[in-house]
Amino acid sequence: MDLPISAEGRPALAATDLPPHIRAELLARAGDPLAPVSGYVYDPAVAAERVRGLRAALPGWAKVCYAVKANTYRPLLAAMAPHLDGFEVSSAAEADLARAVSPTALLVSSGPGKTLPTLNRLLHNNIGVVNVESRLELARLNQAAGLAGRRVAVTIRVNPKWVEVAGSLTMGGAATVFGLPEDEVPAALGAAAALPNLDVVGFHVHAVCQNMDAVAHAAYVRWCLEWSAATAAEHGVQLRAVGVGGGIGVPFEGGPEFDTMEFCELLGQIEPPSGVDVVFEPGRWCVTDAGWYAAEVVDVKHAYGTWFAVLRGGINHFQLPTSWDIRHPFAVLPVDTWPVDWPRPEAVDVPVTVVGELCTPEDTLARDFHVSRVRAGDLVVFPMAGSYGYEFAMPNFLGHPPADRRTVSADGTGQTS
């Protein structure tokens, strides 16, 4: 695990860059030495509006299944559900959650290493399509389907030889555990045809994450459809579904957003084969802007030329900046209350490195962001924390209290879990 990239003195965000209702929620909770702020605030309306707008702009042949792995907080899923066709799940627990939120939604399953208990649970939750990752998984799914007394729709996940699209994580044309190499697909189709409980309906390609190029991503979707149609025709598959994964990026370090309108306009120029559903599985793009991670500064320290703001939290709550190796900007939210008699340490007009409470130097969330002032008792707030935050952390190391999670809306209502 590497430390986040140095911000090299670029400015931290201003407190006024945070939405007013988020500032109000956090300040209302700040200042209690027995209950320091440390956790997530989500606005479900933000996520709901993101997926509503995407669903409205996409062509009618597209289906949108939210990738639950990005954020499993049930109020967010419930807010998005009316605007989705379904959910992409990668475990039995995610399937249970998605089905609890929406009893009739389409469920699509992905991920390597599906065990028989996992497959049994997916079938119990009336899974719609299973993206199969290997020939052994085909046999295992056939066994589970036989035990359940049903026939299961299957797409073969493909690791293509080459795709002209780039992002922070490329999973096509590389040695990865995901899917089958392109040249092994024919043999897998032959094996699947001999299994009575499987119905091969198409292919799944999820070759990139965090792509910011709308034109390239539309071309990637076109390639997925063209390749799937040609392969299905060559091998006698009645093509009914093509999964194109997620992969739409968000600008964690600033810069322009992924142009969803241009993307959808370009998709409108594509005509999939008749009767084929094209399944999109966005996760990060749906929920990133709907979450904020906030933690109280419990100490401010200086050592050998570097100022540190020490949080009541860290990578045990929010590991994203370290895992993704990004310069994740934050804001300092001043808290005027200082309920003790001790001196209040501070750093003024200097670059600051934000660290957590764990006994490892890897517990670093941001390096060398310039702040006008940060004091013990203030709050450090990371926006764009709605994806791969709570779920992606390492909460059990040292056993500190877990991050809490709350929802809040612009009208001030919310809930806690």
Q: What is the pLDDT of residues 104-128, one digit of tens each?
A: 999 999 999 999 999 999 999 999 9
Query: Is the pLDDT assigned to residue 329 strictly greater than 50?
Result: yes
Q: How far is CA 368 from the centre of its chain?
A: 26
Domain count, the chain: 2
Domain end point (choices 269, 286, 303): 286
59 or 416, higher pLDDT: 59
> Which one of the listed residues 209, 224, 286, 359 is annotated catalytic?
359
One domain for residues 253 and 323: no
Q: What is the pLDDT of residues 153-204, one digit of tens each?
A: 999 999 988 666 554 445 455 667 688 999 999 999 999 999 999 999 999 9
Two structure tokens written together for 214: 């709308």
One domain for residues 280 and 372: no
Residue 10 lies in a domain: no
Residue 7 lies in a domain: no
Please state the φ and ψ torsions of residue 325, each to the nearest 5 degrees. 55, 55
Terminal C-alpha separation, the chain: 30
Two structure tokens written together for 115: 């065990």
Domain end point (choices 286, 306, 337): 286
One domain for residues 232 and 104: yes
One domain for residues 33 and 83: no
Give pTM, 2 decimals: 0.94
Rounded CA-CA distance 181/156 in Å is 11
One domain for residues 280 and 166: yes
One domain for residues 256 and 403: no
DSSP secondary structure code for residue 81 in this structure = G
Residue 8 lies in a domain: no
One domain for residues 35 and 61: no
Domain that holds residue 202: 44-286
Q: What is the pLDDT of residues 231-290, one digit of tens each?
A: 999 999 999 999 999 999 999 998 899 999 999 999 999 999 999 999 999 999 999 999
How many residues does this entry show for the chain? 417
Residue 3 lies in a domain: no
One domain for residues 76 and 163: yes
Query: Residue 23: beta bridge partners?
Result: none
CATH number of the domain residue 307 falls in: 2.40.37.10
Query: What is the dihedral angle through the alpha carbons of 330, 331, 333, 334, rounded to the nearest 10 degrees?
Result: 110
Number of other residues whose CB lies within 10 A of the CB of residue 334: 15
Task: State residue 411's pLDDT score.
Answer: 76
Residue 270 lies in a domain: yes
Q: In this structure, are residues 300 and 375 in contact, taking their beta carbons and an 8 Å threshold?
A: yes
Q: In this structure, are residues 366 and 7 in contact, taking their beta carbons and an 8 Å threshold?
A: yes
Furthest CA-CA distance within the chain: 78
Q: In this structure, are residues 12 and 370 in contact, taking their beta carbons and an 8 Å threshold?
A: yes
Amino acid at 234: E
Rounded CA-CA distance 135/127 in Å is 19
Q: Among candidates 298, 293, 295, which has minimal Cα distance to 375?
A: 298
One domain for residues 242 and 371: no
Q: What is the pLDDT of residues 65-78, one digit of tens each?
A: 999 999 999 999 99
Please state the φ and ψ torsions of residue 308, each to the nearest 5 degrees. -120, 135
Active site residue 359: yes
Q: In this structure, are residues 212 and 170 in contact, taking their beta carbons and an 8 Å threshold?
A: no
3-state secondary structure of 409: coil
Task: State residue 167's pLDDT score.
Answer: 45
Residue 300 lies in a domain: yes
Rounded CA-CA distance 260/211 in Å is 12
Domain end point (choices 286, 311, 337): 286
CATH number of the domain residue 156 falls in: 3.20.20.10
Residue 321 lies in a domain: yes
pLDDT above 70 covers what percent of the chain?
Answer: 95
One domain for residues 54 and 28: no
Rounded CA-CA distance 365/379 in Å is 14
One domain for residues 404 and 295: yes
Task: State residue 99's pLDDT score.
Answer: 97
Residue 2 lies in a domain: no
One domain for residues 104 and 209: yes
